[in-house]
Amino acid sequence: MSRLERYRAEVLQRIASACRRARRAPEEVRLIAVSKTRDLEEIRALHALGQQQFGENYVQEFIAKCDRLSPEVLKTPIEWHFIGAIQGNKSRAVAERAQWVHSVDRLKIAERLSLQRPDHLPPLQVCLQVDLSREPGKNGIPEARLWELADAVAELPRLVLRGLMTLPAPSDDPAAQRLPFARLRELRDALNAEGHALDTLSMGMSADLEAAILEGTTMVRVGTALFGPRRPQGRWE
């Protein structure tokens, strides 16, 4: 068994056993392989093992990888999720390539993505990134402004508002890990009670995916547990 095969089996096993604890079906939790800093061969190898969803953080790296590992090149489906910060001048490249964007936190970026989404592609599926830490300078919309952003994004013609994403401060304590995830679930439920139809929670990474599954996540974004220790940024080629 190759290293990637072993890591993937371990992650799937962790997801399955957390789902059993949570009394959830494992199909409810999608595994997004976070492939930032990984090279094309590693991504190809993981894809060949059956992994279809990949997440990237940096726009230039995202463009290069999507273009070199398109469904046409691979001859089988692959789904690209953009999960990093988007500067306004880079939004077009994302709108043209991603199936999902998890990191929408400003109306201006959402409007650009909607305008720039090519007509021949289905509407872009988006999550709003929520900053639950209240630390200044973090990415994400503060909770207090989430309603206004959700209402506005839901109106944009070329986007589909699917859910919420969060990236909490790391914690080793399984009980503490659950708190921000529980909060994100409550926010999703509150938005749905006001007429939204959000079916996605993007929360949980290598160190806390069990906590996220117990709190109802539908997409875990996993990097190091699938690929091994992270490489320095910008060294993937």
Ligand X SMILES: *Cc1c(COP(=O)(O)O)cnc(C)c1O
Distance, CA of 67 to CA of 54 (rounded, Å): 13
Tokens of 103: 């990191």
User: Where does 60-194 show beta strands of DSSP type E?
Assistant: 79-82, 100-104, 124-131, 141-142, 159-165
45 Cα distance to chain centroid: 21
Least spacing, CB of residue 151 vs ligand X, in Å: 25
Distance, CA of 122 to CA of 101 (rounded, Å): 13
- Per-residue mark of binding to ligand X, 7-46 (x: CB under 6 A): ---------------------------x-x----------
94 contacts ligand X (rule: CB under 6 A): no
Helix (H, G, I), strand (E, B) or coil at 62: helix
Least spacing, CB of residue 129 vs ligand X, in Å: 8
219 contacts ligand X (rule: CB under 6 A): no
* Range in contact with ligand X (rule: CB under 6 A) among 11-19, 142-150, 179-187, 200-208: 200-208
The angle that helices 146-154 and 107-116 make with each other, rounded to 10 degrees, is 10
In the complex with ligand X, the residue whose CB is nearer, 106 or 151, is 106
117 contacts ligand X (rule: CB under 6 A): no
* Range in contact with ligand X (rule: CB under 6 A) among 19-27, 86-94, 171-179, 215-223: 215-223
167 contacts ligand X (rule: CB under 6 A): yes
Distance, CA of 96 to CA of 116 (rounded, Å): 7
Where along the sequence are the contacts to ligand X (CB under 6 A)? 34, 36, 57, 83, 167, 205-207, 221-225, 230
